[in-house]
Amino acid sequence: MAKVRAVQVSRALVLVLGTGLALSCGGDPPPVVKVPTAQDMRTFWGLNSGSCWVYKNLTDNSQFTVSVDGPDTVRIAGKQIYVVNQATASAPGQPNEILLDTDTAPGELYLARYTSGIGAARMTETYLTDPRPLWGKLVYEGDALKFAPTNRLESASTPQGGAAPIAHQWTVASRDQAVVKDDGSAAMAHRLLYTKDGVQQAVYDLVPGYGMAHLQLNGTEYQVCLAHVCDGAGTCTGAPTCANVPCP
C-alpha cells in the first residue's frame, strides 16, 4: 500500500511540475512592436498633399517656395509617390522635383526620382530597382515617433541608365536644434545634413509634423516666412495659400 501511494505521489508531482513548466514556457506574449505607417511618415516629414512653405533667401531677400502634391501613381510606374516641388523666381516653370516613396517599406522613406537644373543643364535621376536611396527612417519608442535610432543613413544606388552607384548620406547633426516657425513661435528641430557622393548638398531643420523651418541649399540660407501645413485628412492650418504671397 505504501508503494502504491509513493507511485501516486510521484505521478502527482510530475504532473504539477509538468504543468508549471508548460505555463512558464508559454509565458506572456511578446510586446507588440509598433511600426510607423506610410501616413505617419508623411506627417512627420511634412509630406501631406497640399502643404506648402515660402522661404526668404537670407542673402538677397528673394523667395523660394516648396509645395507637396500626390499621391501620384503615374510618374513612376507601379509606385505611389509624393512630389516635392522646389521653385524659385529665377527659374519659373522649372522647379526642382523630388519624388518620394513612403509606401513601399514601413517606416522608410525612399527617393524615387530627382530632377534639377535649368534649360540644357536640367537633369533627372530615376531609381527603380533596389538598393534605392534611403532618405529617411522612423521608429517608435513607446508611443513617440523618432528619427532613426542611428545618426547616419547611408546608401549607394545606381540611377536608371547610370554607369555607377551614387552615394547618398543623411546625418543627424542635432535632434534639438532651436528654430523659429513662420508665425514667430519657437520650435525644436532635427538638423539633417544631406551629402551626395561626398559633397554636402543641403542642411535641413525639420520640425516633425510641420516641415522645414530653415534650410541651406548649396550654401544659401533660407528661413520660412509662410506655411500652409496639411494633415493626412486634408485639414490645413496656417496661411490660406502660398501663391504670390510676399514674405513680410
Whether residue 131 is preceded by a cis peptide bond, meaning omega within 30 degrees of 0, is yes
Residue for grid cell 501516486: 8
Do the domain assignments include residue 17? no
In a domain, 107, yes or no: yes
Query: Considering the domain boundaries, does residue 193 fall inside one?
Result: yes
Would you write out the chain's pLDDT as a tens digit for each of its 248 residues?
444 444 444 444 333 334 444 444 556 777 778 899 999 999 999 999 999 999 999 999 999 999 999 999 998 878 899 999 999 876 677 899 999 999 999 999 999 999 999 889 999 999 999 999 999 999 999 889 988 878 999 999 999 999 999 999 999 999 999 999 999 999 999 999 999 999 999 999 999 999 999 999 988 999 999 999 999 999 999 999 999 888 88
Q: Which three cell numbers stand for residue 207?
A: 520640425
81: containing domain: 38-235
In a domain, 58, yes or no: yes
Classify residue 189: in a domain, yes or no.
Answer: yes
For residue 101, tell me if it sits in a domain. yes
What pLDDT is stored for residue 147 in this prediction?
87
Amino acid, res. 130: D
- Would strands 144-147 and 63-72 be described as parallel, antiparallel, or unpaired? unpaired
4 CB contacts (<8 Å, ≥6 apart)?
none
Does residue 3 sit within a domain?
no
**Residue 23 falls inside a structural domain:** no
107 CB contacts (<8 Å, ≥6 apart)? 35, 36, 40, 41, 137, 138, 139
Residue 170 has a pLDDT of 97
Residue 134 phi, psi dihedral angles, 5° rounding: -85, 115
The total domain count for the chain is 1
